[in-house]
Amino acid sequence: MTAGKFQLYLDLIRWDRPAGWLLLLWPTLAALWIAAGGFPGWQLIAVFTLGTFLMRSAGCCVNDVADRDFDRHVKRTAQRPVTSGALSVRQALLFGAFLALLAFALVLTTTAVAVGWSFAALAIALLYPYAKRHVSMPQAVLGVAFSFGIPMAFAAVQSRVPLLAWILLLGNLFWVVAYDTEYAMVDRDDDLKIGIRTSAITLGRADVPVVMLSYALYLAIWAGVLVQRVAAPLVLLAIALAVAQALWHYALIRGRTREGCFKAFCLNHWLGFTVFAGVVAGHALL
């Protein structure tokens, strides 16, 4: 493989934009800590960190194939490798399948329950790229896909998926709706022209209020779960810092400018890291 071709595959999986997979990583690692009641062990941390990166990368391959006819009409995405023709559909899908198989190999080192749930996770990941053709709020579908590391973490640690995992998934779903609506607000004008459905289009002028409400629900649900299980002062401090970041995002998106909305989206992984850090610190002081 030439250096140029290798770079195309790196571009395909958004190698230069780690914010995307970090958005999946922080709630997944937080769920590992909660499921284990503290440090889950380096093996599980390594499995879920690498697995998160691989599955997000595989998702990019599928997404770019599904959206190639739409992406060429959007300035931000027109030069993606599949859209531009630099990589073929077959090459992208084969690479995505290879990455997904690597992720599955990692899951095989955990529990049978986690292996079983991995098939549901894969199905949801494959469903999302097509949801925007039929669902007025495809960000909700993405919310499930981007939150599925949470039940997977419980399955790997406890060999079961308790109600707690689904409550955390629900809370995280609201966070995904918040930041992916910010992302959709960047491309709203282009998406209207080409007929893609997004939450930014469906919500109209209610987009900013719903984004802020989604942040509030996410942080309220996670705070309600965590204060009962870990050192409350540290968790509440982390939640307060996350609230401050959400308010900063409001300042960025209230004008609905492309630049402000994109910046808010890109900063979201710091909000997720803040909550994760609170989970780790809270368990450390138990």
CA distance 73 to 54: 28
CB 34 within 8 A of CB 167: no
Q: Which helix or strand (DSSP H or E) is residue 277 part of?
A: helix 258-284
pLDDT at 75: 67
Which candidate, 80, 52, 51, 54, places its Cα nearest to that of 65? Answer: 80
User: Is 70 exceeded by the pLDDT of residue 1?
Assistant: no
pLDDT at 275: 97
CA distance 269 to 27: 10
pLDDT at 76: 72
pLDDT at 168: 98
Using CA atoms, how far residue 3 sits from 6, 7, 10, 193, 231, in Å, is 5, 6, 11, 36, 50
Predicted confidence band of residue 6 (pLDDT cuts 50, 70, 90): confident
For the chain, what percent of residues have pLDDT higher than 90?
67
Q: What mean pLDDT is reported for the chain?
A: 91
Which candidate, 101, 105, 99, 28, places its Cα nearest to that of 63? Answer: 99
What residue ranges define each of the domains in the chain, with the CATH number in brackets? 3-284 (1.10.357.140)
Residue whose token pair is 């992208």: 92
CA distance 4 to 73: 25
pLDDT at 98: 96
CB 30 within 8 A of CB 276: yes
CB 37 within 8 A of CB 282: no
CB atoms within 10 A of CB 47: 24
What does the block give as tokens for 95? 């690479």
Output 39 or 202, whichever has higher pLDDT: 39
Mean pLDDT of 7-36: 93
DSSP 153-221: HHHHHHSS--HHHHHHHHHHHHHHHHHHHHHHHHTHHHHHHHT---HHHHHGGGHHHHHHHHHHHHHHH
CB atoms within 10 A of CB 97: 13
Predicted confidence band of residue 73 (pLDDT cuts 50, 70, 90): low
pLDDT at 129: 78
Predicted confidence band of residue 67 (pLDDT cuts 50, 70, 90): confident
pLDDT at 187: 84
User: Is 80 exceeded by the pLDDT of residue 195?
Assistant: no
Exposure of 100 in the CB half-sphere (CA atoms within 13 A) = 18
pLDDT at 104: 96
DSSP state at residue 256:
-
Predicted confidence band of residue 164 (pLDDT cuts 50, 70, 90): very high
- Weakest mean pLDDT among 11-15, 82-86, 216-220: 82-86
Mean pLDDT of 251-275: 96
pLDDT at 72: 75
Mean pLDDT of 174-188: 93
pLDDT at 188: 87
User: Is 90 exceeded by the pLDDT of residue 31?
Assistant: yes
Q: Model-level pTM? A: 0.93
CB 21 within 8 A of CB 56: yes
Mean pLDDT of 229-257: 94
The rounded radius of gyration (Å) of the Cα atoms in the chain is 19
| Model pLDDT for residues 122-140, shown as the tens digit of each residue | 898 888 877 777 788 888 8
Q: Which helix or strand (DSSP H or E) is residue 143 part of?
A: helix 138-147
